[in-house]
């Protein structure tokens, strides 16, 4: 029960990495606020936690909108009693070069992947500071550290997440708020399969290519959830401002 008596807000919690992390955090004792646009999926995750004896709520939210983000934070505090862990995990991808990306698509990727972190953190940090500290975890990407083909907006957004994480760690360490990000490699999620369709590839080919790394397999949502648990727990009490690569060795050489 490494997160006993903690309250965690997880964006993108209805599927993929967010879903796996919500279930794991609940198993480790946290009360979980599942935040997502997908009401059916989000409600299902929250209900699974409640059915297992845990505490969870679902909050519908467009993370690119300030009013929604503030409401998600308020509802979490009001219904679960606080906010100790913020996992800014919601994200989207547009597989295209600069020439192929429209202005609307660029703005959309930046709003969901970067602006959402700014908005939710802006609301959460004062709550955490008043309570004596907290943890913020952001989902970046291996492509936030190195470039990738046909992913200009996505790479730009995830690079921004890495440096926003470091800036926030510097600004809020004195308040005992640790801020880190996870840089996953290819992970078997609905977003990866959507990415394959954007590229005109079959799911099978995309998954096979994703497994071409030293550990010879694709990542699972549970792999990334375990990294989030480490960063959320006291096991990482002296870790802040870091970009934790979890990619099966894909960036090793």
Burial class (CB in 10 A: 0-12, 13-18, 19+), 4: exposed
To the query of whether residue 230 is one of the catalytic residues in this protein, the response is: no
Dihedrals phi, psi of 155, to nearest 5 degrees: -60, -45
Candidate list 154, 156, 177, 188, residue with the active-site label: 154
Domain 7-186+220-246 in CATH 3.30.43.10? The answer is: no
Could you tell me the two tokens for 20?
A: 């796996």
> What's the pLDDT at 117?
98
User: What sign does the dihedral 95-99-100-103 (CA atoms) show?
Assistant: positive
Residue with token string 């070069």: 97
Which residue, 145, 184, 234, 157, is CA-closest to 18?
184
The span from the CA of 173 to the CA of 133, in Å, is 9
Predicted TM-score (pTM) of the model is 0.96
> What's the pLDDT at 207?
79
Beta strands in the chain (DSSP E): 7-11, 31-36, 56-60, 85-88, 134-139, 177-184, 243-246
Which residue, 239, 234, 191, is CA-closest to 16?
191
> What's the pLDDT at 163?
98
Question: Residue 40 in 3-state DSSP?
Answer: helix
> What's the pLDDT at 95?
95
CA–chain centroid gap for 239, Å, is: 18
pLDDT tens digits for the chain (253 residues)? 999 999 999 999 999 999 999 999 999 999 999 999 999 999 999 999 999 999 999 999 999 999 999 999 999 999 999 999 999 999 999 999 999 999 999 999 999 999 999 999 999 999 999 999 999 999 999 999 999 999 999 999 999 999 999 999 999 999 999 999 999 999 999 888 888 888 888 888 887 888 899 999 999 999 999 999 999 999 999 999 999 999 999 999 8
> What's the longest Cα–Cα distance across the chain?
51
Is residue 4 within 8 A of residue 84, CB to CB? The reply is no
> What's the pLDDT at 191?
85
- CA separation, residue 228 to residues 8, 148, 248 (Å): 11, 24, 16
For residue 205, count other CB atoms closer than 10 A to its CB. Answer: 11
- Crossing angle of helices 39-51 and 16-27, rounded to 10°: 20
Is residue 111 within 8 A of residue 94, CB to CB? The reply is no
Give domain limits for the chain. 7-186+220-246
């Amino acid at each position: 029960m490494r997160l006993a008596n903690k309250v965690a807000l997880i964006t993108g919690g209805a599927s993929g990495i967010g879903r796996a992390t919500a279930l794991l955090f609940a198993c480790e004792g946290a009360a979980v606020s599942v935040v997502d646009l997908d009401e059916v999926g989000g409600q299902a995750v929250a209900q699974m936690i409640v059915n297992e004896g845990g505490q969870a709520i679902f909050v519908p939210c467009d993370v690119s909108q300030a009013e929604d983000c503030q409401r998600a934070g308020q509802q979490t505090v009001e219904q679960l009693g606080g906010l100790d862990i913020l996992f800014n995990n919601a994200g989207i991808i547009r597989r295209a070069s600069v020439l192929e990306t429209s202005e609307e698509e660029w703005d959309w990727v930046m709003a969901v992947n970067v602006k959402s972190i700014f908005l939710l953190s802006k609301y959460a940090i004062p709550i955490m500071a008043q309570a004596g500290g907290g943890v913020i975890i952001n989902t970046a990407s291996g492509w936030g550290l190195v470039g990738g083909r046909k992913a200009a907006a996505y790479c730009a957004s995830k690079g921004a997440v890495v440096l926003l994480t470091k800036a926030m760690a510097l600004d809020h360490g004195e308040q005992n708020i640790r801020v880190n990000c996870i840089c996953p490699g290819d992970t078997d999620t609905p977003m990866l399969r959507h990415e394959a369709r954007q590229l005109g590839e079959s799911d099978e080919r995309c998954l096979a290519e994703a497994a071409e790394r030293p550990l010879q397999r694709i990542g699972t949502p549970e792999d990334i959830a375990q990294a989030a648990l480490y960063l959320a727990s006291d096991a990482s009490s002296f870790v802040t401002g870091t970009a934790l690569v979890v990619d099966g060795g894909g960036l090793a050489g």
